[in-house]
Amino acid sequence: MLVTKHAAELCALLVNDLYGELPSRILIALLTKGRSTILQLVQQTSLNPRHLRNGLGVLFHQNLLYARTEPGSKTTTYEANPDACYNLIRSGKILEVLEQRFGAAERDLVQTLMLLGHARIQDLGQAFSTRAPQANGETNGTQSMLIGSESRLRSVLARLLQAEIVEAVRADTFRNPAEVLDEYKQEMAKASPGDRISNKDKLANDEKAAERYIAFRDNGKAIKRQLDQTRGSYAKRRKLQNGHSTNGDHIDDDDAPHLNPNIIVRVNYEKCLVELRNHRLVAFASDSIGETTASVYRTVLDLTTAHMSRCRIDPLAAMKEPEPAPITVTTLDIFDHLDEAIDVSRGIGKVSGDKIDTFRIEKVKMEVPQSDDESEIESDDDGPVPNGRSNTRPRGNTDQHNDEDPFSESDNDTRTNGERSSRVTFDDSSTSRTRRIEQMRQHLLLLKDSKHRFIRHCGTQGRGQWTVDFRLLMARFRDAEMDAVIEQSFGRHGLRLTRILRERGKLDEKMLYSSALMKKGDVQGKMLAMQMAGLVDIQEVPRDTNRLANRTLFFWHFDGDKTQAQLLDDVYKAMLRCMQTLQVERHKERNILSFVERKDVQGKEEEVMTAEHYNKYNSHLEVQDRLLGQVMRLDDMVSVLRDF
Amino acid sequence: MAPSAVPRAAANASQNDSDAAKIAVWKQALYERVMESGRNNDVFTQDDLIDLGVIPNGDKLLLIRVVQALSDDKLFVTFRDASNNILWKWRDAQEAHKYKQLDDEQAMVYSLIDDSGGDGIWSQTLQRRLNMHDSVLKTALKHLQTKGLIAPFKNVEHPNKKMYIKASIQPSDRATGGPWYTDQNLDEAFIEDLQRVVFDYVKNQSSYVSKHSGGRTQTPSKGVVKGNPDRGKKRDAREMNEPPAKAVKTSASSTPREAVLLPLPAGYTGYPTVRDIARLLSASGITNNTILSESDVKKLVDVLVWDNLLEPIRVAGKIGYRVARVSKQSTDVWAGREDPTGREGQPESYLSPYTEAPCGRCPVFDLCEEGGPVGPSNCEYFKKWLGMD
């Protein structure tokens, strides 16, 4: 994989921050020079081989390297894995999301795995058994939250394995996937007879290679499949647990599966990214619609992505792996998994029933939309409409209900209150349930109706089926991120001009300022500034062969992909600068920091330090929080632009 | 020979007189028929003219003489089409009178200006077309101007060109730029104010004001989840037993209740359309002496959509508009605020983390390099941002 200069520097800095200077130096050499043997590395880094091996060992243990030993020779080549290096920055976020989704024990295990890089299950057991008594003694009441026993560890691990958060490691996991695919291709080419290979054969060969590659890639999931068979699939268990929602967390302690203690496991970042993406999308939905709707969306996303291994199709396997069929969930499913604490009656305004076009909103779109154009708004595509009456009747009920109370604020208040009490007493639980389902459905419809089209209504079973078109949704999300950057760097007018160019394609200046309702001079100034920044560019089309300036048409155009790539690099650079600023700050305060690091000072800083130093230390912590927080937020952008 | 020549000439003259009289009659008749049968811009071929039935027996010679006479009176305009057929067009008698007062050059200049209609014509184009000497053209133009036949004017599409237009007609919308221009200048203040009015209107029509802000936390999005200093530390396990949503609610209800906007249910049909907005604008009377057509309003709304402030939505077979990011918008009005710096009531747009930190707004970002003239170790902007000034 190619990385830009700033990305490479950022990776090196992260490794430096976490694992010290030696691995970082080796990593820089690997990133700049590409695949190298130990001898080459010795030359490039001027380190002695013993140090070098130590450094490589650290990198290798943290999965930051690709390594390959040619079968014939004894030499091993090493290659940096920039994606893995970058993922270091996300550790905290991943842990947070996992804790929300699975629980403290799972988070604890993943955190341990992150520290270790990869570990044998047996070793993990030992690591936790030494910690167990301490944990037991401290928090007796919450024992079930943490891993206290071998069987508990196994069940937690099995859960994570089944959720694909953790995967098994084999020797060839450390090979560069692109290389593996290439090798398969070469083998296929060798196997096919004749020196001239037709295009068709080549294609067939490539497909076979891709198939083998997929098999290679999914090898690590064998253990998951095995567990799925013996324990039932993860989704099923989840559902079961939800049935006993109060103590769902530790019902499976007793049936801890047997796991081969020699299996080596590590964190599967690809799946973690899927979880992070859900998190991010929920925040996005909350931003564009509202919080209650976003929490409904959270449930939809959790359900649709349970079996999704990665955010995007693996480009290497794209040949043999078609876009996976969208996973659909029904309204009832969503309702069953919806957190009881969410008050779905909130978050949507009220209008009288006759102002709602039930026919249109219930329209079902079976097909995955191919492209993301505005034409959808223009065209009256008459998708199949569900046999409307049966579907809209519950809506009619709520409308009627709405008509009864004149939607005054106080009324609304009492209504929600009354509903809450009814939920507690369960006197008319069935009606409150239908009403709650209907209210939740309103949020789903709102998500569907949004500009970003968060979900798609794709069927009528189970009170409506829903799915998420991630590829298109993420493209819209990326555009939104880009729009925000453009708006804040070039103002509303800059955003307006680029949006016009995106919608209409290449445009003459005259068209531009007449559509944007801006002065010619202002447009020229803005466009020039944006051209300098590389957002827009100009194309000359001569009207005749003379190529005179006044006989030439000048067209502005906007290159979204290029802008995104550039923005991504700029974000890397901004992250890098934040981290470097942090280092500068640490260097400035190095005396205080080294003092604080002493064992006898840790934990009682306030008593030991002078007031002046203590204040300085605190303000340094503030600065650090600020900078790291900013890095995390920038990482959110990187995820959206690059990974999701 | 001479004596006989006199009466013949006289006879000729009398015949000419009677001929001229006859031609004058036919001239009048043909002109009137042409006026009746054609609209302003209709052109006539020779056959068309004969078909009108004014000239007896389809006498082509006579027709030529009549048409010639009409052309001399400037009542007919002669021109050729692409395949070199001769065509005629009639001209208003009053106009023809104007032509008659002019000498050749002036007439040529005037006819070009006349042809250009409401868009006007550039003086350079005149010169190129007519191939006249500069001074001749200038005197001709001056003459025409003093006679009050043409007037100089400015075209918004070519503000630097010296344009002429017939004095008797109004410049076209294209030349004046339509309602968005005042005195040939784009009226930005007018447009901006109208946009605010439209935005406020659409915001009101496409959202629901909720006075009790239970569903929404009032904490800023900045640095709450992502930059939380507690994130690395283990939280107390007891915290997990408390439903976080509830905690938020109580804190929100203890703060003074602030009105928030909520989205309307999906399928709402009352989102304003361009027509509704146009009606509002004309009813409110803010566009006092400018008339905005529906397409003008559409332009205005389009711009707001491009600004990511409004979004189109299909309602009941037509396109309605609603406000973007409804729950983040304030309930204040945007229009009519005096202070240009105050951001009250302004639409809230999605903030990018990149541009919030110093680097995203750094003017020397491209130069920034460790060890260079500017770099992380001597960055002024970071110092300010971190409050270490």
**Is B240 touching A (CB cutoff 8 A)?**
yes
The answer to whether A629 and A579 have CB atoms below 8 angstroms apart is no
Query: In this complex, do A145 and B223 lie within 8 Å of one another by their Cβ atoms?
Result: no
Report the half-sphere exposure of A467 (CA within 13 A, side-chain side): 20
Note the maximum CA span of chain B.
140
Of B210, B216, B355, the CB nearest to A485: B355
Interface test with B, best of A17, A145, A442, A449 (most B CBs within 10 A): A449
Q: How many helices (H) and strands (E) does chain B have?
A: 14, 11
Q: Which of A264, A518, A447, A194 is nearest to B306 (CA)?
A: A518
Say what the pLDDT of residue A337 is: 85
pLDDT digits (tens, 9 = 90+) for A113-160: 888 888 888 888 888 877 655 444 444 444 445 666 777 888 888 888
What CATH number should be reported for the domain whose range is A473-558? 1.10.10.10
The distance from CA A223 to its chain's CA centroid, rounded to whole angstroms, is 24
Q: Do A451 and B191 touch (CB under 8 A)?
A: no
Say if B115 is an interface residue toward chain A (CB within 8 Å).
no
Q: Decide if pLDDT at A423 tops 70.
A: no
Distance CA A363, CA A346 (A): 24
pLDDT tens-digit profile of A43-75? 888 888 899 999 999 998 888 888 888 777 778
Cα angle B294-B297-B303, degrees, rounded to a multiple of 5: 145
Distance from CA of B221 to the nearest CA of A (A): 9
Please give the class, per CATH, of domain B188-219+241-328: mainly alpha
Write the single-letter amino acid at A247: N
Check whether B224 has a pLDDT greater than 50: no
Average pLDDT over residues A578-600: 87
Domain ranges of chain A: 5-80, 104-267, 300-468, 473-558, 564-643
Query: Once rounded to an integer, what is the mean pLDDT over residues A22-32?
Result: 91
Q: Where are the domains of chain B?
A: 19-92, 102-176, 188-219+241-328, 354-385
B317 in reach of chain A (CB within 8 A): yes
Query: Quick check: A533 pLDDT over 80?
Result: yes
* Contact partners, residue B63, CB within 8 Å, separation at least 6: B46, B49, B50, B55
Is A214 part of the contact surface with chain B (CB cutoff 8 Å)? no
Task: Identify the H or E element spanning B323.
Answer: strand B318-323
Which range among A288-292, B34-38, B281-285 has the greatest average pLDDT?
A288-292
Contacts of B357 in chain A (CB under 8 A): 574, 578, 630, 634
Residues in B 327-386 with any Cβ partner in A closer than 8 A: 327-328, 349-357, 359-361, 365, 368, 370, 375-377, 379, 382, 386
Work out the minimum CA distance from B329 to partner chain A, whole angstroms: 10
What is the full DSSP assignment across B214-252? TTS--S-STTSSTT-TTTTSPPPGGGGGS-HHHHHHHHH
**How does pLDDT run across B6-60, given as a tens digit for each residue?**
555 555 656 667 777 777 787 788 778 777 776 556 777 777 777 777 777 777 7
On the question of a common fold for A5-80 and A473-558, the answer reads yes
Return residues 292-321 of A near B (CB < 8 Å): 292-293
Chain A nearest C-alpha distance from B215 (Å):
6
Confidence of residue A431 (pLDDT cuts 50, 70, 90): confident
User: Which of A47, A48, A154, A160 is CA-nearest to residue A102?
Assistant: A160
End-to-end CA distance of chain B: 120
When pLDDT is cut at 50, 70 and 90, the band that residue A281 belongs to is very high
DSSP conformation class of A275: H
Closest residue to B307, CB basis, from A350, A488, A496: A496
Q: A637 and B354 in contact by Cβ < 8 A?
A: yes
Q: What is the pLDDT of residue B219?
A: 41
DSSP B272: -
Q: What is the mean pLDDT of chain A?
A: 78
First to last CA, chain A: 17
Answer with the residue of higher pLDDT: A570 or B27. A570
Crossing angle of helices B104-116/B123-130, nearest 10°? 130
In eight-state DSSP terms, residue A432 is H
pLDDT in the model for residue B248 = 36
ipTM for the whole complex? 0.79
- A496: chain B residues, CB-CB within 8 Å: 303, 306-307
**Test the B interface: residue of A492, A507, A508 with most B CBs within 10 Å:** A492
Q: What is the pLDDT of residue B190?
A: 83
Q: Does A484 touch chain B (CB under 8 A)?
A: yes
CA distance linking residue A100 with residue A144, whole number of Å: 16
Lowest-confidence range among A501-510, B8-17, B97-106, B244-253?
B244-253
Cross-chain residue pair B359–A349, CB shorter than 8 Å: no
Which is more confidently placed, A89 or B50? A89
Q: Does A445 contact B267 at a Cβ distance shorter than 8 Å? A: yes
Report, as an integer, the average pLDDT of B146-151: 82
Would you call A479 an interface residue with chain B, using a CB distance cutoff of 8 Å?
no
Task: List, for residues B329-372, the tens digit of each pLDDT value.
Answer: 777 777 766 544 444 556 777 778 888 888 888 888 888 888 88
pLDDT tens-digit series, residues A375-401: 444 444 444 444 433 333 333 333 333
Neighbours of A341 (CB within 10 A): 11
User: In which element (H, E) is residue A497 found?
Assistant: helix A470-504
Q: Which residue blocks in A381-469 are alpha helix, DSSP H?
A: 388-404, 409-425, 429-449
* Mean pLDDT to the nearest integer, B247-260: 47
Cβ atoms within 10 Å of A383's Cβ, excluding its own? 12
Cα(A87)–Cα(A232) distance, rounded to whole angstroms?
31
Comparing B220 with A492, the larger pLDDT belongs to A492
Distance CA B21, CA B12 (A): 14
Domain B102-176 CATH assignment equals 1.10.10.60 = no
Fold of B19-92: Arc Repressor Mutant, subunit A (1.10.10)
pLDDT at B156 over 50: yes
Write the pLDDT tens digit of every residue in B159-197.
778 888 887 777 776 666 677 777 667 778 888 888 888
Query: For the domain A5-80, what is the CATH code?
Result: 1.10.10.10
Between CA B285 and CA B294 the distance in angstroms is: 15
